[in-house]
Each structure stands twice: as structure tokens, then as C-alpha cells.
Amino acid sequence: MTISTLTERALIARLHARVPPPPEWVSIGMGDDAAVLVPERGCHDVVTTDALVEDVHFRRAWSSPRDIGHKALAVNLSDLAAMGATPRAVLLSLALPPDLPLDDFDGLVDGFLTLATTSRMPLVGGNLTRSPGPLVLDVTAIGIARPRRVMTRAGARPGDRLYVTGALGAAAAGLAMLQADHAASPDDEAAAECLRAYRRPAARLRTGAIVARNRVATTCMDLSDGLANGVRQIAEAGGCGAKIDAASIPVHAGALAWSAVRGGDPLTLALSGGEDYELLFTVPPRRCRRFLAAIRQAGEVPVAEIGVCTQGPDVVLVRDGQRTALPVGFSHF
Amino acid sequence: MTISTLTERALIARLHARVPPPPEWVSIGMGDDAAVLVPERGCHDVVTTDALVEDVHFRRAWSSPRDIGHKALAVNLSDLAAMGATPRAVLLSLALPPDLPLDDFDGLVDGFLTLATTSRMPLVGGNLTRSPGPLVLDVTAIGIARPRRVMTRAGARPGDRLYVTGALGAAAAGLAMLQADHAASPDDEAAAECLRAYRRPAARLRTGAIVARNRVATTCMDLSDGLANGVRQIAEAGGCGAKIDAASIPVHAGALAWSAVRGGDPLTLALSGGEDYELLFTVPPRRCRRFLAAIRQAGEVPVAEIGVCTQGPDVVLVRDGQRTALPVGFSHF
């Protein structure tokens, strides 16, 4: 049974039935022309939008409907995390192929709403439309943050240390496994983590919020487009350079193993693979101790110091004593 | 030259170059992980999302890129208007077929930004991605409104009068002309208005805001899905019925003319055609005078009284003394 057997109204009702009652800050929720939100006193609004398009960002053969719904929200949560914002509300716009099985629709919605609920983020608006092509999930996430605790990409200074959360390259390795039709053995925990990192990324909301609250980082951004792109963006926005120590980059064990099997360079997965929804911070040396205390307080994910911001525009990678330019991450549209 | 000749980064830079500097309430605009907005004191946030999908909501053969960009924002502005909200900021997510001419991309963006600018609505966030299928424009509009001046769909009471703005059926007639490949004569002003209503609808922002400020309407919604659907939704949300006087429905001259040529019922265009971004209000009798004064004060569009809310659940149309059920507006997804 596909969604085309239902009217738009019935499909909307089916979605509504899955949405839990909203918290008190939602004055008017779904079902009207627009939703009305009560602002949090003393906070600014933080807003971001990001889309997942079938056969560009996911394949239905590689991710379950629940995975896809989860990821559509997670990539937006990661943007809020990078600003140090707390989730407030979310809007979901779906363009659905008529042959989408109704079970898949339910799965998409459940994957999305499960993450929204655990993130204390009511779904306050939505739109359902038919798609004559791919399945498209467009999400707008709204967060709140205290004005002087917002973290941006701009503000890195020479001497600031660069830190990343987690281990990198996992999602890229997971995608490579799916592309190669690689059947990981069921007890290969590292491979399973890579697939999970690709299918159901976790946003570092708690880490972002606690670092922001402590005002110990000069910049923060998420690594959705890879570490190399992140370092370049922060250097450019701060008018500085950066020197990255290759040996310090925390490459995920599954990415190392995959590269060993396939003969690639695991560092490429970590630098250019993208889809690691980890956070990149710059921290002045005198604040590093407090930064690390905040990371421990968050208790979400470890960090690794991977380099330092420098004078001048060069963004370099030091590997086995050799300095090379950090990859640009060039990609055709 | 198509957009696929540019990198994603170059395309984003091209978009950024067209965005005017933001007003003071945008603390952090485009280009970071998320935007940061300073709330307006004493106001609530009003948020809505709506998408246009190629070959579902528009065809590139029937609308110019500027039309499409304009309409993607206008349909969202109409939702803000129906709440009585004032525009504050907007986010635009585009899924672009790689063969889209670069000129068309520029046109889309310009049509969107021109309306955003005249609506005093800075573009604060966006997302560009490739689409393997249709062009998709997903817009999230953010407005503000004073808490007790928000208008919703719920609140109509028996005895309330029903009013609509403007003349109905124009957009549906315009679409029918395009579907029939009808070449309107250049001096047929009514036909030109129908095409314009379809391609570049105008949201009734000023009317919505002034009626809301005067607190003279019990409900308001926009007629994106047609008058019959609007009346039914308001009756259902208010737990009342409605009686519509067919002779009072303001049918657009172009819709009348088109129906005369094609032999259809012009009332069907007005009731079920949809895409009239006009507003439907309910107003208690003792407030009708003040309501009409607010409409005159707005000076945007006339209103017509088309019926009354009744006890009981029936939603009826009275035509030539005959009572019939108002069409349901049933549509398969």
C-alpha cells in the first residue's frame, strides 16, 4: 500500500496522530496557517535549514526510512550544536514520490519524531507535497542561545588551538562500504559503527551548548563537509592560517580498517570524506584547561587537539615532517 | 551555461552577492552554521514552511524563473498574513537540477529576493543541493506578532459573518488558460490578471496585520486550497456550520470570461480552484463596522461578505434558493 492511496488530508492526519502534545512554549502548533512560539526571555533565535535529497544524500536501498528521518533532523541539530544553541522547535517539509509505501512514510516520520522528542524539539510546522522524482526532506531547525554565548566560524586568532570531537572518517567509510556492497561481518563492531555514523549521525548538542555556556572557544563549526573544509573555513573567516598535525587527527578504527582492506589513505576519509557531524573548535591557549573541563562536563564525546592557528593565510598539513597544503575539498555542484 | 559548471561554493557565493545587507535584528546572517535573530520585545514568533515542486506546483514552460522565485516566497507570506504576523526573516532551500541554466538560477534568486526586500524580510539562511529530478524550492518564513493579536482558524461562532478579500478563481482560471495553451489577446486585461494571479500571487500582509491589530476577526485563514476548503476548515475548527450565499461570492472577471468561453461553472473555479492567496475572515456582527474600517485603513484589497456561521455541522451553499452541500475539495495525494 502506497501513500497515493490516501488523500493529502488523510496523510497529514496520519502525521499529526504521531506528533506528541507540544510543550508550553508552543502557543499554536501544527494545523494552522503557521505556528506561534513564545520566545525564551533573554535568548536569541538560532535558525538553520538543511535538506536530504534521495540519490544525492541517501539511497533507499542503503538506509531504512527511520534512518532517513533521523538523519534529516540530525544534520540540522548539528548546525545548532555548532552555534552552541539549545533546540526549540522544528519544521519538516516532505516531497514524497507517490509510490512510497505507507510503511516507509510511517518509518520516516517515526525516525524524525523519535529524535525530535529526545532532543525536546516539538514539530510545529510541516508541509506535505507530491514529488515527481526523488524523496526530499527539508528541515528547518530553530534553537535558542544567550546572545554572548553564540559560537560562530569567525574569531579564530593565531595561537588558538584546534580541537575536534570524536573520531573522523567513520561516515565516509560507512558510505564506501555501502557503495562497494561490502558485507561486514556481524561481529565487526568498527564497521557497524561506520555504517551507523553514515546512517544515523549523532549531533553534539550537549558538547556545543556547554562549551558555548563556558565561553571558552573562539569559534566552532560542524564537520558536515569534512575536516579540511572546516579548518579552511575557520582560517578564512578569522583571517589566519592553520597548521594541522596529521598524527593527531583521530581517525575512526573502522576507517583505518576499511582503508587497510581497500588500500586507500585513511587520512583522506578523515579530511575530505565529510558527513562527520563532529565539532571543530578553536580555543586560546589560556582557556584550554577550562575547555577540556567543559568537554568532560558534557560527557558526550572526547576531543583531540589537532593543530594550531597561525599567522598568514597558509593552511598546512604536517605529516611525517612534511608540510603540504590541506586538501581544498573541491567538488563540482 | 548551466549551474553544473560551477562548484557549490561558487554558486553559494553567487547567491550571497545578491543578498542585501541585513537589518539590525539579524545578529548573524547567512554563511555560518546557522543564523541568529534578535527577538522583538513583546512579540511571539510565527513560523511556517511551504514548498514549490516542479511539475506539481509549477512548470518552467508556464512561469519564468522570476515568477517561480516570487511565488515560492509569496505562498509563505500568505500564511503569515493569515496569522496577522509581520515578516521578520526567511530561509530558502533549493534543490536544483544540474542542467538548470545559470540565468534561470539568477532569475529564481532575484524573483525571491525582490519580494523579500519589499516585504522587509532578510534572507538569513539557505541550502543549495543538487536534485536528480525536479526543481524544488522550500521556504521557511518567520514572522512576529503580538500574543493576543494572532488570528487562527479556530474561534468562529454561530452568527459570525464570513468575509473574503479580493476576487476568487483568478489563479485557477490562469492555470486553466496555460493548460489549454490559450493565447489571451494582449488587450484582455482580465485574462492577464488571471495569469498574474497564478504566476505571481500577492499576499495580503497589510490587511492581515491591520485586522489582527484591531482584533475584529474571530478567525482568519488563507485560501490556498480554495474557498470551499477554507470555509470547511473554519467551521470544523469552530465546531459550527456555515451558510454561503453563492451570489455574494466575488468571482474574478477573468474567471467568469474563461468559464463563458469554455462552458464551465465559474463558481467551481472560485470554490475549488485554489491558489487564490486571498484571506477568509469570520467577524462577529457587532464588530463588522470596525472590521470594514480596518479593511479600508489597510487599503490593499476590498472584501465581500459571503455568508454566515451557523449552528450545527452543515456547511451549505445557497444558490438560486437551493441549498446544497459545499464541495468537499477532495483530492488524491
pLDDT tens across B113-157, in order?
999 999 999 999 999 999 999 999 999 999 999 999 999 999 999
pLDDT digits (tens, 9 = 90+) for B232-258: 999 999 999 999 999 999 999 999 999
Q: Tell me how far apart the alpha carbons of residues A126 and A139 are, in angstroms, rounded to a whole number.
A: 9
pLDDT, position B70:
98
pLDDT band at B52 (very low <50, low <70, confident <90, very high): very high
**Contact between chains at B134 and A130 (C-beta distance less than 8 A):** no
- Which of B33, B37, B142 comes nearest A79 by C-beta? B33
pLDDT digits (tens, 9 = 90+) for A253-290: 999 999 999 988 999 999 998 899 999 999 999 999 99
Q: What are phi and psi of A301, to 5 degrees?
A: -160, 145
B43 inside 8 A of chain A by CB: yes
Q: Give the mean model confidence (pLDDT) for residues B198-208.
A: 98
pLDDT band at B215 (very low <50, low <70, confident <90, very high): very high
**Contact between chains at A39 and B44 (C-beta distance less than 8 A):** yes
Interface with B, mutate which of A25, A32, A57, A225 (most B CBs under 10 A): A32
pLDDT, position B329:
62
Interface of B with A in 141-170 (CB under 8 A): 141-143, 145, 147, 150, 152-154
Q: pTM here?
A: 0.96
pLDDT, position A331:
61
Query: Residue A186: is its pLDDT beyond 90?
Result: no
pLDDT band at B184 (very low <50, low <70, confident <90, very high): confident
Interface of A with B in 101-140 (CB under 8 A): 124-134, 136, 138, 140
Q: Tell me how far apart the alpha carbons of residues B237 and B219 are, in angstroms, rounded to a whole number.
A: 10
Where are the alpha helices (H) located in B152-226, listed in sequence order?
170-179, 189-199, 205-214
Query: How many CB pairs (< 8 A) connect A and B?
Result: 236
Query: Residue B297: is its pLDDT beyond 90?
Result: yes
Residue recorded with cell 515527481? A132
Q: How far is CA A65 from CA A59, A109, A197, in A?
A: 10, 8, 16
Q: Give the mean model confidence (pLDDT) for residues B313-327.
A: 95
Burial class (CB in 10 A: 0-12, 13-18, 19+), B306: buried
Strand order in the sheet with A322-325: A219-222, A279-283, A161-165, A303-310, A241-245, A315-319, A322-325
Extract the C-alpha cell encoding B56: 506539481
pLDDT, position A8:
86
Query: Residue B333: is its pLDDT beyond 70?
Result: no
pLDDT, position B331:
61
